[in-house]
């Protein structure tokens, strides 16, 4: 067995360090540096796997899945994009599983990573059930259509899905790279849908020791965009994490902290596409369970590390990994 | 126009507390069922060695070769290692539906008509997706 395939295991000292220090007050630099190294290792390991992705015992892939999803969990939470968007292109491109099973697992991961973080986000009042509910209803409704569309396209030719997934991932990478979030966007109160749904709330800001009241605007536009997001999320098994924060923050004017937290909660609610894949038989426990456990443990550590790292650095590293995975997905579609 | 002050729904605290408990239970169920499966304590319907030779096949081909159950047929095979793990996965996906029922009761008590409607609609979608009424068997 190629020893370089075990390179992901070398990440463990950094992760142990991060876990041991997750409750303590630590400086941002060492944590960011360790995470940066881990992200580079993830990309390197992915490239190694691309060169020889088959010929290993089943347990090798299960262990590697667990380690990979553990790291995806950490990065997904810290970058505020959810695990699904990283999992599907990476595992779909570098693991031997068919893209149908990877997309099925991706939806469970998108849900699982946020399920573990959601209780704390709700209790801290950072996540807003009020804000999540109408957006989730729209996204989850359209994700059902997306799930059927994705499975149908894949039955015609899996390369259609693999190729368009690669293009979508590259577009998401570009979107994440150029997207400039606003910490506290200025809103124009009085939007009828916002008032009808009471889309606002309050949260405690420890840095300023004050309660901050907020509300959103352009709710109709936001809900409309979530239809499209839901469709893509169900079609490619990505979950909607990659778009939630941006739409809530940039379109609807939600404060960044609330947008990130609400996205984390909302993804745990959006389970409809997962049910479709489950019922169609596109769910293999051997892929889903280690991935879920890995991402949930990773997300727990990621949410604790969140206040101690530089989100911009994490974001850039995640974008780099996405670009690699997107290009690999496209090349796989062409049989390369 | 002056910004209207909104507050968070008090139901979200109950939701968070219930969610935490259910996630913990589902993790335990998932872990135990998976150990029984991969540890060979419960014989799987599809042997793992065979699975690793067909997991690279498209879904339809995979189903044809393994005769794996679709829809809710897995319940008939819950005594096997792989489909006991399915039960853990199904419970995890069902958590949202359970928590939404708590919201539904809360909104009904508080008279939040709009949110009562949104919650009911989402529960309807969940039931539609989970009941496999739209998809057929997949075979």
* pLDDT, position B22: 93
Q: Which residue of B has its CA nearest to A113?
A: B23
* pLDDT tens-digit map of A253-272: 998 888 888 888 888 887 78
* pLDDT, position A212: 83
* Residue A2 is assigned to a structural domain of this protein: no
Residue A27: phi, psi to the nearest 5? Answer: -75, 155
Shortest CB distance from A281 goes to which of B5, B68, B134? B68
Does the beta carbon of A258 lie under 8 angstroms from any beta carbon of chain B? Answer: no
> What's the per-residue H, E or C state across A105-165?
HHHHHHHHHHHHHHHHHHHCCCCCHHHHHHHHHHHHHHHHHHHHHHHHHHHHCHHHHHHHH
Looking at the structure of chain A, the number of domains it has is: 1
Give the Cβ contact number of residue A139 at 10 Å: 33
* pLDDT, position B25: 92
Q: Do B7 and A201 touch (CB under 8 A)?
A: yes
* pLDDT tens-digit map of A313-333: 777 777 887 888 788 888 878
* pLDDT, position A81: 67
* pLDDT, position B5: 66
* pLDDT, position A50: 45
* pLDDT, position B101: 92
- Note down the domain range covering B81: 11-130
Q: Do A281 and B62 touch (CB under 8 A)?
A: yes
CA distance A174 to chain B (A): 30
* Residue A5 is assigned to a structural domain of this protein: no
Does the beta carbon of A35 lie under 8 angstroms from any beta carbon of chain B? Answer: no
Cα–Cα separations (whole angstroms), residue B50 to A8, A50, B62, B78: 27, 23, 11, 19
pLDDT tops 70 at residue B137: no
* Residue B52 is assigned to a structural domain of this protein: yes
* pLDDT, position A40: 54
pLDDT greater at residue A306 or residue B110: B110
Percent of chain A surpassing pLDDT 90: 15
* Residue A206 is assigned to a structural domain of this protein: yes
* pLDDT, position B57: 92
Looking at the structure of chain B, the number of domains it has is: 1
Tokens 């941006």 label which residue? A246
* pLDDT, position A288: 93
Shortest CB distance from A279 goes to which of B23, B96, B135? B135
Model confidence at B65, in pLDDT bands (50, 70, 90)? very high
CA distance B109 to chain A (A): 16
Give the Cβ contact number of residue A49 at 10 Å: 26
* Residue B68 is assigned to a structural domain of this protein: yes
By mean pLDDT, which of A18-27, A187-196, B60-69, B70-79 is the weakest? A18-27
Q: What is the mean pLDDT of chain B?
A: 87
* Residue A3 is assigned to a structural domain of this protein: no
Restricting to A residues 291-320, those with a Cβ less than 8 Å away from any Cβ of B are 292-293, 296
Report helix, strand or coil for B72.
coil
* Residue B137 is assigned to a structural domain of this protein: no
CA distance A203 to chain B (A): 9
Give the Cβ contact number of residue A7 at 10 Å: 16
Q: Please, is A56 exposed, middle or buried when counting C-beta atoms within 10 Å of its C-beta (0-12, 13-18, 19+)?
A: middle
Enter the ipTM.
0.88
Does the beta carbon of A62 lie under 8 angstroms from any beta carbon of chain B? Answer: yes
How many inter-chain contacts (A to B, CB under 8 Å) are there?
207
Q: Do A98 and B7 touch (CB under 8 A)?
A: no
> For chain A, which ranges sit under pLDDT 50?
1-29, 46-47, 49-53
Q: Do B6 and A130 touch (CB under 8 A)?
A: yes
Does the beta carbon of A129 lie under 8 angstroms from any beta carbon of chain B? Answer: yes
- Note down the domain range covering A308: 10-333
Q: Do B3 and A289 touch (CB under 8 A)?
A: no
Residues facing residue A201 across a β-bridge? A214
* pLDDT tens-digit map of B28-55: 999 999 999 999 999 999 999 899 999 9
- Which residues in chain A are contacts of B7 at CB distance < 8 A? 201-202
CA distance B5 to chain A (A): 6
Mutation pick from A223, A268, A289 vs chain B, by most beta carbons of B within 10 Å, is A289
* Residue B4 is assigned to a structural domain of this protein: no
* Residue B5 is assigned to a structural domain of this protein: no
Contacts (Cβ under 8 Å, ≥6 apart) of A254: A131, A185, A214, A216, A248, A262
CA distance B132 to chain A (A): 6
- Which residues in chain A are contacts of B60 at CB distance < 8 A? 155
Q: Do A275 and B9 touch (CB under 8 A)?
A: no
pLDDT tops 80 at residue B123: yes
CA distance B85 to chain A (A): 6
Q: Do B82 and A111 touch (CB under 8 A)?
A: no
Q: Give the C-alpha separation, A248 to A234, whole Å.
A: 19
């Amino acid at each position: 067995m190629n020893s370089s395939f075990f390179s992901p295991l070398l990440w463990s000292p950094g992760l142990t360090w991060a876990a041991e220090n997750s409750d303590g007050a630590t400086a941002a630099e060492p944590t960011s540096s360790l995470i940066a190294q881990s992200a580079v290792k993830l990309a390197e390991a992915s490239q190694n796997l691309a060169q020889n992705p088959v010929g290993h015992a089943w347990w090798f892939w299960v262990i590697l899945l667990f380690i990979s999803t553990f790291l995806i969990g950490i990065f997904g939470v810290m970058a505020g994009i959810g695990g699904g968007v990283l999992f599907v292109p990476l595992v779909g491109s570098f693991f031997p599983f068919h893209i149908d099973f990877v997309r099925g697992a991706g939806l469970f991961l998108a849900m699982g990573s946020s399920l573990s973080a959601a209780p704390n986000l709700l209790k801290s009042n950072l996540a807003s059930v009020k804000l999540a509910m109408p957006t989730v209803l729209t996204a989850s409704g359209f994700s059902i259509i997306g799930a059927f569309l994705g499975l149908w396209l894949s039955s015609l030719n899996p390369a259609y899905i693999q190729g368009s997934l690669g293009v979508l991932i590259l577009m998401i990478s570009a979107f994440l790279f150029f997207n400039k979030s606003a910490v506290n966007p200025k809103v124009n109160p009085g939007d009828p849908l916002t008032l009808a749904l009471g889309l606002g709330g309050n949260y405690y800001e420890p840095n300023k020791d004050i309660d901050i009241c907020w509300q959103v605007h352009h709710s109709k536009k936001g809900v409309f965009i979530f239809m499209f997001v839901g469709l893509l999320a169900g079609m490619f098994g990505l979950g909607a994490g990659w778009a939630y924060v941006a739409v809530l923050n940039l379109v609807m004017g939600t404060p960044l902290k609330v947008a990130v937290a609400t996205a984390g909660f909302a993804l745990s609610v959006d389970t409809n596409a997962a049910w479709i894949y489950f019922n169609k038989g596109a769910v293999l426990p051997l892929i889903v369970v280690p991935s879920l456990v890995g991402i949930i443990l990773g997300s727990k550590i990621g949410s604790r590390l969140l206040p101690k790292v530089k989100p911009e650095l994490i974001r850039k590293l995640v974008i780099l990994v996405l670009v690699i995975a997107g290009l690999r997905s496209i090349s796989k579609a062409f049989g390369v | 126009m002056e910004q209207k002050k909104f507050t968070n729904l008090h139901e979200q605290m109950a939701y968070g507390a219930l969610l935490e408990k259910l996630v913990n239970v589902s993790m335990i169920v998932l872990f135990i069922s998976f150990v029984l499966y991969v540890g060979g304590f419960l014989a799987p319907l599809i042997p793992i060695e065979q699975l690793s030779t067909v997991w690279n096949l498209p879904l339809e081909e995979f189903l044809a070769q393994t005769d794996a159950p679709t829809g809710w047929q897995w319940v008939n095979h819950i005594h096997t290692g792989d489909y006991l793990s399915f039960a853990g996965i199904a419970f995890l996906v069902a958590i949202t539906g359970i928590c939404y029922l708590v919201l539904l009761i809360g909104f009904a008590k508080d008279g939040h008509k709009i949110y009562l409607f949104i919650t009911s609609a989402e529960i309807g979608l969940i039931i539609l997706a989970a009941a496999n009424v739209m998809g057929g068997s997949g075979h």
